[in-house]
Every structure is written in structure tokens, then in C-alpha cells.
Amino acid sequence: MSANGRATAIGATAYDPTMPDAPSPGPRIVAVIPVGALEGAKSRLGGTLDAEERRELAIEMLDRTLRAALTTDAIDETLVISPDREVLDRAASAGARTLLQRSQGLNSGLREARADATAGGADAIVILPIDLPLVSSAAVEQLIAPLDAIVERPLVVLAPDRHGRGTNGLLVAPPDAVEFGFGGDSRAAHAACAAEAGARYIEIDGPLALDIDTPDDLLFVEHLLTETADAR
């Protein structure tokens, strides 16, 4: 109680108009990791790996992608969507939030995840497939860096595959700025969707260009990793 009888809040600081405003929070970014069923995963590698080996590879890649997303400071939440409950249990144990996919197909599942992320207040989503052998928090940070550097919205940032046809990483801000065009020539499809939406469209190079879809991809990655290990 002050001398004049008025209550004074303990520890309160009087307002000073010259004090700088507190920094505004950055955009809320949700990483979305779509995962198919482990049973029959990576069937295109069937000529090189048997079913159990392909399953183990899918689990290893899922774990790697989860670590990359969960250790990226700018990512506020990691959401895994899958029709496979084993995948969801594994993701939840790692610290991700999970969503059971009700629809069929990758793009439909991503629309489910986007609706969920948007309902949670996401300003941007980052889509990370699990077949990226060199994915890391640094690679994810590279993908989302334009979000701070560029003020224009809508914004689409894409990491193409090494063949120049696929999409190995996709940032969309706001989340509903463009439709998803995964499958086939998805790089061209996403570029067209961005143009139609009037979005700023950026492509980045880097480690996300490597993926494992075919036996040739697997051999290329194994050779690269062997060379890297030998050079150490």
C-alpha cells in the first residue's frame, strides 16, 4: 500500500513510451511429414531390397526425418500423417503430433494435414517426405529461411530433386496458398500452381535434392556416402 492509500503492484514497471516494444513472435511453422504404410513400402526398390529390408529402410528414413524436423528451432510443431498406426505410434514416441489419414493418396492426405495445421494457427507449413537421406535440421532451416528474408505473401519455396522433376521439400505460406501437386512432374506442377496463385516462387539447391525412389537412387546415395566416409 502506498502512502496515499492506493494499492501498488509489487514488481510492476511503469509504462514508458520510449521503451521499445517487445519483439513480435515469428510465424508459426508446422512441419508436415506424410508417411505411407510400412507394409509394402518403397516397392520400386523391390529388385534390390526384399520386403523386410525395404521396411527397415522406411523406418530408418522416418526416424531421420523426425529428428531433423524436431531439432529445427524455427519449427513450432511436427505433424505426421499416415494411415499406418505403427508409424503414428513411432512418431508420437519421438515427440511429434500425429494424425490418422482417412483419405486415399498423398495429396489428399496433405490436404487433411493442412486443414489440421491451419486450425491450429499455422502461418506456414513445410512438407518433408521421408525418403531424403541427407535431411537434417540445417537442410530444413535452408528450406524455411526465405520465410524471414522475404515479406511477400503468398510464398512458395521448393527443393527439387536431383533429376529436376520431383519435389523433395515444399514450404507454403500461408498454408492454403496453393494446391498440392505431388506425383509425376511435381516440380512443374507446383511452379504452375504458384504462378496461378500469384505467389512468390523460389527454388533452393542443397542436400534435399537427394532422394531414394529407385535402385539407381539407392546406388547413387550409397556411393556418395562411401566417398564421404573415405574422405574423412
pLDDT tens-place string over residues 126-141: 999 999 999 999 999 9
Domain enclosing residue 214, as ranges: 29-231
pLDDT at 12: 43
Kindly state the average pLDDT of the residues 164-175. Answer: 97
Residue type at 129 in one-letter notation: P
- Asked if residue 24 belongs to a domain, the reply is no
Cα 164 from Cα 170, distance rounded (Å): 14
* Structural domain includes residue 104: yes
| Max Cα distance, the chain (Å) | 87
What average pLDDT does this structure show over 19-46?
80
Q: Among the listed ranges 41-55, 61-75, 85-99, which one has the minimum average pLDDT value?
A: 41-55
Q: Tell whether the model's pLDDT for residue 8 goes beyond 50.
A: no
Q: What is the average pLDDT across 139-163?
A: 95
Alpha carbons 64 and 79: distance in angstroms, whole number = 15
Cis peptide before 20 (omega within 30 of 0): no
Q: Given this model, what pLDDT does residue 224 score? A: 76
Which has more pLDDT, 23 or 102? Answer: 102
> Is the pLDDT assigned to residue 43 strictly greater than 90?
no
Mean pLDDT for 166-187 is 96
pLDDT at 4 over 70: no
Domain presence at residue 48: yes
Query: Which residue type, as a one-letter code, is found at position 139?
Result: A
Question: Domain for residue 76, yes or no?
Answer: yes
197, part of any domain: yes
pLDDT higher than 50, residue 10: no
12 occurs within a structural domain: no
For residue 227, what pLDDT is reported?
Answer: 58
- Average pLDDT, whole number, for the chain? 88
Please report, rounded to a whole number, the percentage of residues in the chain having pLDDT higher than 70: 86
The cell numbers describing 68, all together, are 531433423
pLDDT for residue 117 is more than 70: yes
The pLDDT assigned to 14 comes to: 45
Here the cell at position 222 is 550409397
In three-state secondary structure terms, 80 is: strand
Rounded Cα distance, 35 and 32, in Å: 10
Instruction: With CA atoms as reference, report the closest residue to 139 among 77, 201, 72, 190.
Output: 72
Tell whether 193 is covered by a domain: yes
- Tens of pLDDT, residue by residue over 178-232, are 999 999 899 999 999 999 999 999 999 999 999 998 878 888 887 777 655 555 5
Rg (alpha carbons) of the chain, rounded to whole number: 22
Angstrom distances, CA of residue 177 to CA of 151, 153, 196, 199, 200: 15, 9, 10, 8, 10
Which residues make beta-bridge pairs with 173? 155
pLDDT of residue 15: 40
User: What confidence score (pLDDT) does residue 21 get?
Assistant: 52
Phi-psi region of 220 (alpha: psi -120 to 50; beta: other; left: phi over 0): alpha
Q: Which residue has the cell 493442412?
A: 114
How many structural domains comprise the chain?
Answer: 1
Q: Specify if 139 maps to a domain.
A: yes
Spatial separation of the C-alpha atoms in residues 148 and 102, rounded to whole Å = 34
Please report, for the domain that includes residue 113, its CATH number: 3.90.550.10
More confident site: 14 or 152? 152
pLDDT bin (cut points 50, 70, 90) of residue 108 is very high
Instruction: Please give the pLDDT value at position 3.
Output: 45
